[in-house]
Structure 1
Amino acid sequence: MEISLKANITALVIVLLCAVVKTIRETPVIESELKTEIRCHKQCICTAYELLCPGANITEVLNYGLNMQVFYLDFSNMALTNFPMEVMYMTDCKKLNLSSNSIRLMHGSSLWALRDLEELVLSNNSIANIALISPGTLLNYNNNIKVLNLSNNPMIVLSQDHDSILYSDFLEILDLSWCRIESLVGPEVLSGLKRLKYLDLSHNPLKRLDQLYTKTLQILNVRGCLLNHINNSALVGLKSLNVLDISQNEYLDMDYNNIIRTSMLETLDASKCSVLRPKLDGMTNLKGAFFNGNRIRELTAYQFANSTKLITLDLSKNHLEIVHHFAFFGMTSLLFLDLSSNKIVDISWDFMIETNMPPLEILNLSHNQVSTIGILKSSTLQQLDLSHCLINQIPRDAILRLDRLTKLNLSFNPLQTLSLGSLNSSLLSLLDLSYCRISRLSYEFVNSVSLSDVRLTGNRLVALKSGTFAKCPNLKYVYLDDNPWRCDCFTVDFEYMASLIEKTNENFQVKNFDYREPVCLSPDNVTGLPWNVACNSSAYLLSRALIRKNISIALGVVLILCVSSVVVVFVAAHENMRTRQAVCTQIQGLDDYEDGDHHQDSEWTDGGGSGRRTAAHDEYEAAASSVAKLSQLPTYEEACMLYKKSVPARVKRHSCTQTADVCVPAAVNDVAATATDRLLRDYDDDDDEMAADPDSHGGSNRLPSQSTTIPAKHRVTQV
């Protein structure tokens, strides 16, 4: 085993030595090639394998010398009238460009030495007829030729004459675009090209497309011609045709009764024509049909029923107004449907989505006049584009039954609010709501564990509630630019928004993309600043400090006012309570005094009259003195100066709940009247008693009669 290992090492060393020796031997060759590369005419660009002299003087270039080992030779725009014979010696040349000259003809042996030639460019010359370039023998010696470009030459006709048929067993691409070809005469025009795969006849004044024969042609391009009719058997002889481009023929209307038959065609591009009713019945193997930019107004029932293999159907930029419920019935393979830029107002979502629609993966309804969305249902739909419509409301659970939906575009719609649960979808990863009119997002407005990209650019959002995307754990990108944000940098909601922006920035830096950061609209001192600049600016910090200081002062003032108000109210209530209690106490005493009159009268009559009268007089004097103080009348001079108004009726107080201004005068009047009546009654009783028994009472003890004058200190004037 050791011997074999040593042998392998020895062999490896020998190989390395051989490589080094070979490199040393080839060094002079490399140096000579570098010297050849440097030696170049001033009007050319030269490398070891290229000689590019567009617009140079051919005589000067030839006299300077040519590198015969180049692979790519460019002699375009050199005013050549004939094929330069010096080119024949460049036997390694693979691409020869003689475009934009004045070459009119070529001999059959012009290319005989260029055995490795793969591409010949003769565009924009003066070749008026293909017969002038010896089509029968020109390419006979070039077994590697793949591309022949004869575009933009003044050729008028391609015919099946023997002298006009181009022969080659190896040519695959023939470019005859931008010539002046008006007709293809005869079905054998292409019969000499045994391996032709691509024929470009675009932008010729070709008016008809009749029957052609070739077994190898795969792509036929007649874009931008003047076609107004295609024969129903024009494609029958093209046994391998896969792609037909008849777009930009503005006079072409695929007659609904003229069924174009081809069994191998897979892609048809009929965009920007004048098609009114597309008919695809004869194209049984068709997989892609493009009718965008036509004049289609209506899709009838079962219109594409026989296109069972069609995968892509583009009907955008038409005048579609009516789409029948069963228009796409039978299209069992359709995956991509484009109905954008039409005039569709209403779609029967129930019929189209649930029952009669094919297993679509991508549906484009943008730039229509759709205003409502139904409850969508599909087990295959992955992308839905409803941008640039008139949708102003999305019902709850509108997309919940789209089991495989990953991308939803609702941008440029007059949406203002989004109801909770309207955009819930388990696999939704991209949600585009940019340039709507959304001013508020509800908390957790979307519930999708797969959501990674949310676009809210160009709305009317001022703030974003914390936790808005709480149920989106895989969120990576949130576009919030072009909104009138209020930068309250120290609030919880703004910190949540800032965290979303920072996460988006980090993910964009990983992908080397630029991200437009949100700009503040308010407060005024940070208007126009990006959010991160605004929150770190001195103006914002100063404004924040001033706001805090002002708030503190305002709170202090409010607190002082509140405490003062409470104290004032408490003191007033306390004083009012004391006043009420004092008045009620006095009134209660007077009421008790009145209730005790009868008892005192009986004691007076029973005996001890002088003592009892003295006690009654003392009590009366105290009450009268108190009442006099409360009801003392002004002097005459003061009374003359008082305001005169009618005296209200006397109100007797029966409850302490009555107000003090009513309670005091009424009580005073009642007490004064009662005391006066009682005193006069006592005097009358004493007079009667003394008259009956004058001896039982001494003269010194006799009370004055009723007419006796009462001392001034006992007189009480009624208020």
Structure 2
Amino acid sequence: MVRLSSTLCVLMLISIANGAADFDSGLGDLCYTCVCSADKTSIDCSRRGLTDLPDGFNSQVTKLNLSNNEFNTFPRNLHTFYNLVSLDISGNRLNELPQDALFNLTALEELNLSRNYFESWMSLNPNEAFQPTTSLKTLDLSNNKFKTMGNLANRELIISSSIETLILERCEIDSIHGRSPLSGLSNIKSLKLNSNPLIRIQSIISSTLKSLDVSNCALSTINHNELMYLPSLIYLKMSHNYRLELSSTAYNLFSDSLKYLDISYCNVLQPNLQGFPNLRRAILNHNMIRFLRSNEFVNNTMLEYLDLSYNNIGSLKSDTFRGLTLIKYLDLSWNEIANIPEDTLLEMPSLTQIKLSRNYLTNVGHLKSDSVTVLDMSSCEISSIGQDSLEGLQSLVDLDLSRNLLSHIPDSISSNTLKYLNLNYNRLSFVNNYTFFMLPRLIGLSVIGNRFTTIWRRSYFESNPYLERLDLSDNMWRCDCVDGNMYDFYEYVTLEPSKKEESYNLVCNSPITLIGQTWLEACYFVWNPTEKIPNPEGLIWFITVMIVGLTVCLLLVNCIKRSMHRRLAAIQAERERQVEEARDRLRQLRMRAEQEALCNTPDPRDLIAPPSYDEALSMPKVSASCHSLNETGTGKTKRKRGRRKTKSSGDLLEETERNGDVPVLEDIEISEASNGRRRHRPRREISRYGSHEVAELEQSPGARRRRMSEYNAEYDSPNDDNTTVEVQAELERPLRPRLRRYSNDDIRESDF
């Protein structure tokens, strides 16, 4: 048994694993193309350019988005998603819905087919296609081109017992005719036909319809009995029908169930709401209503919200609002009302908020109401307010008198309930101790943008213990810092814990030297004289600190200077060392160049041109034989001597002596014998050259070097073995290019 139970557990685990693998593999392609949620219950395939649904199915998918693709036909394999709750296939190219398109989608609640190419109701197969979806609640067919809502060959427009919301916005529907298009929708609750060129609404019959939206259409009139076939209608929106008028005859629109009515932005001349006894909210703004009759709303006893703004109402009567016992909000702004009777508000015992702004009221008047808490009379050109104007408003909490022409507030204006008083942007310039004396509950007072110049006093608000906010900015305050009242009022307004205004909002406008400065900036040193006049002890400490600081600064400067001098000296020494090294290298280079020049100096005999024919005739004859220049003049056996191609240092010295001014009588040549011994071989005396040749030889480098060596020999000690050659300035010229040496037998003109 134990083995059997363990085997069953293993098999169950394997099956669960296989099921999970099948679950993942079932949506493999679909989730690869689309975006799947973590639990695989929501799939988003929008904007993928799909023409067909990718392979894959999952019974747990509840939301599928196929919008904005390229579907031409309805997907065939949607029946595998039998737990689907929401399907969005809008923004495609569908023009037909097959009968079995929604087969097996019994859990579907929302279907969006908007922005497709449906042009006929028959292409939807409306009598068969929606019957399998027994749970369908919302059907969106907006932005198609149905043109009409007429029945087709005595067939119902759409048959579905579950659809509650039908959206047909922007479908170019211009007429509704024949039998009711809603007869096949037994549970319809909301119908949206807005933004269609619909001229009339008729033949709309439904016992369950609660909301009808025909706004932004082309309606001009509505028959008085059109709403009688909608016994459950609660919400009716007909706004932005610019030619729509409500009938002013005895046969007005009638609906016992209607509670919300929106007829804004139309051409209504009279409210004509008598046929809606249960109406709770009526919006009639932006119309052409010129006046309100007596007992205009006597049948609307359930009305709670009434908006008549942006009309042309010029007058009211004391009994205009009679019967509105439950109304709480009344908006009469942006009209042309010049006078309001005192008892007008008494007919509305539940009224709490009334807006009268943007009218032509010249005074506050003596309004009476036991319920009004918020009264807006801004921008009404009010120039005066009576001392007892607020006494009739027993529950007034917030009064807005901004942007009027008030130049004076009467003393002791009284209200035991007023908490917020807005007097911004008027022409007020003066208040005193009695101005707010009778406003004991005042919490917030705003006088921004008036003409106050004299600084107020703290005593003005001794009777206002609950005052928390006081807005005083954008006034023309004259700052007198010496006046103790200014400092006292500044502390009262800006200091904690009862801070009433920010200090940066209190700006001086005069005198001219303080324009634009805040009260604190202008009077700081006047209000704090101890901070302006230093005491002796503080001055001594200040001087001491300054001396110590200067001493420290001097020490730092000296240290920096010394370190800079040391650094400059090190840099200079390094620079001198580098210069000296450069000079040594240059000296060595010059000596090497001199040695190379000595080695590369050409034979002077190669540089002397042969004598011309005339010079040769004028030269004296020699007694010795001219067969060889190496012959001696002793008469001994003449021996020829071959010329060596290269010259040693001895040869250079011989040439130097031979080319000098003093004739050489005898020269000793040192040669190497074959046995390694040196022997002295006498040479003959070389005859002198011609006068022009002697002049050239005197200026030859050999003659100059010989004279230099003789000059240096006078100063050399006899113990020195080596001879030091000093390079003269004239030898510092650049080396001449080495000349090619040629033999005497092959003399060229370029050699001279």
Coarse TM-score class (shorter-chain normalised) = 0.5 to 0.7
Aligned to 1:132, what secondary structure does the other structure show?
helix
- 2:71 counterpart residue number: 80
Q: 1:426 to 1:95 in 2, by over 3 A?
A: farther
State how far apart, in whole Å, the 2-side matches of 1:467 and 1:427 are: 21
Equivalent residue in structure 1 for 2:505, among 518, 527, 546: 518
Gaps of 5+ in 1: 1-24, 506-514, 551-719
Q: Matches of residues 457-496 of structure 1 in structure 2 within 5 Å? A: 457-462=448-453, 463-484=455-476, 491-496=487-492
Q: Matches of residues 511-660 of structure 1 in structure 2 within 5 Å? A: 518=505, 520-522=507-509, 535=520, 541=524
Q: Matches of residues 96-135 of structure 1 in structure 2 within 5 Å? A: 96-135=87-126
Alpha-carbon shift at residue 68 of structure 1 (Å): 5.8
State how far apart, in whole Å, the 2-side matches of 1:516 and 1:128 are: 69
Q: Matches of residues 656-667 of structure 1 in structure 2 within 5 Å? A: none
Aligned to 2:491, what secondary structure does the other structure show?
helix
Is 1:431 equivalent to 2:418 in the alignment?
no
State how far apart, in whole Å, the 1-side matches of 2:311 and 2:137 are: 39
Equivalent residue in structure 2 for 1:346, among 311, 329, 339: 339
Is 1:218 equivalent to 2:210 in the alignment?
yes
Q: What is the percentage of aligned positions where both structures have the same residue?
A: 31
Equivalent residue in structure 1 for 2:435, among 445, 448, 455: 445
- 2:390 counterpart residue number: 399
Alpha-carbon shift at residue 208 of structure 1 (Å): 1.0
- 2:608 counterpart residue number: none
State how far apart, in whole Å, the 2-side matches of 1:104 and 1:467 are: 81
- Which structure: greater helix fraction? 1
Q: Matches of residues 15-94 of structure 1 in structure 2 within 5 Å? A: 41=32, 44=35, 46-48=37-39, 49-58=41-50, 62=54, 69-94=60-85
Is 1:261 equivalent to 2:261 in the alignment?
no
State how far apart, in whole Å, the 1-side matches of 2:220 and 2:431 are: 55
- 1:498 counterpart residue number: 494
Alpha-carbon shift at residue 344 of structure 1 (Å): 1.2
Q: What amino acid does structure 1 have at the position aligned with 2:185?
A: L
Q: What amino acid does structure 1 have at the position aligned with 2:435?
A: F
- 1:304 counterpart residue number: 297
Q: 1:427 to 1:111 in 2, by over 3 A?
A: farther
Aligned to 1:209, what secondary structure does the other structure show?
coil
Q: What amino acid does structure 2 have at the position aligned with 1:425?
A: S
Q: 1:475 to 1:519 in 2, by over 3 A?
A: closer
Post-superposition CA distance 1:672-709 (Å, at most 9, x none): xxxxxxxxxxxxxxxxxxxxxxxxxxxxxxxxxxxxxx
Given that residues 218 and 242 in structure 1 are in contact (C-alpha distance below 8 angstroms), is that contact kept between their aligned partners in structure 2?
yes
Alpha-carbon shift at residue 250 of structure 1 (Å): 0.6
Equivalent residue in structure 2 for 1:365, among 356, 368, 375: 356
Report the number of matched residues.
507
Q: What amino acid does structure 2 have at the position aligned with 1:178?
A: R
Given that residues 444 and 469 in structure 1 are in contact (C-alpha distance below 8 angstroms), is that contact kept between their aligned partners in structure 2?
no
Q: 1:125 to 1:439 in 2, by over 3 A?
A: farther
Given that residues 58 and 80 in structure 2 are in contact (C-alpha distance below 8 angstroms), is that contact kept between their aligned partners in structure 1?
no
Q: 1:496 to 1:151 in 2, by over 3 A?
A: same
Aligned to 1:494, what secondary structure does the other structure show?
helix
- 1:295 counterpart residue number: 288
Post-superposition CA distance 1:223-261 (Å, at most 9, x none): 111001101110001011112111111111112014112
Q: What amino acid does structure 2 have at the position aligned with 1:191?
A: S
The two structures have a TM-score, normalised by structure 1, of 0.63
Q: What amino acid does structure 2 have at the position aligned with 1:129?
A: S
Given that residues 526 and 540 in structure 1 are in contact (C-alpha distance below 8 angstroms), is that contact kept between their aligned partners in structure 2?
no
Alpha-carbon shift at residue 297 of structure 1 (Å): 0.9
Post-superposition CA distance 1:144-197 (Å, at most 9, x none): 322111111111111233445212222111111111111111352111112211
Given that residues 96 and 119 in structure 1 are in contact (C-alpha distance below 8 angstroms), is that contact kept between their aligned partners in structure 2?
yes
Post-superposition CA distance 1:95-145 (Å, at most 9, x none): 222222221121232222322222111122111123321222332222332
Alpha-carbon shift at residue 353 of structure 1 (Å): 3.8
Q: 1:471 to 1:151 in 2, by over 3 A?
A: farther
- 1:231 counterpart residue number: 223
Q: What amino acid does structure 2 have at the position aligned with 1:281?
A: Q
Q: 1:89 to 1:427 in 2, by over 3 A?
A: farther
Larger radius of gyration: 2
Aligned to 2:176, what secondary structure does the other structure show?
strand
Given that residues 259 and 279 in structure 2 are in contact (C-alpha distance below 8 angstroms), is that contact kept between their aligned partners in structure 1?
yes
Post-superposition CA distance 1:362-400 (Å, at most 9, x none): 221111011112222211222211111111211112112
Aligned to 1:235, what secondary structure does the other structure show?
helix
Q: What amino acid does structure 2 have at the position aligned with 1:442?
A: N
Alpha-carbon shift at residue 60 of structure 1 (Å): 9.2
Given that residues 403 and 425 in structure 2 are in contact (C-alpha distance below 8 angstroms), is that contact kept between their aligned partners in structure 1?
yes
Alpha-carbon shift at residue 313 of structure 1 (Å): 2.2
Aligned to 1:185, what secondary structure does the other structure show?
coil
Alpha-carbon shift at residue 218 of structure 1 (Å): 0.9
Q: 1:123 to 1:543 in 2, by over 3 A?
A: farther
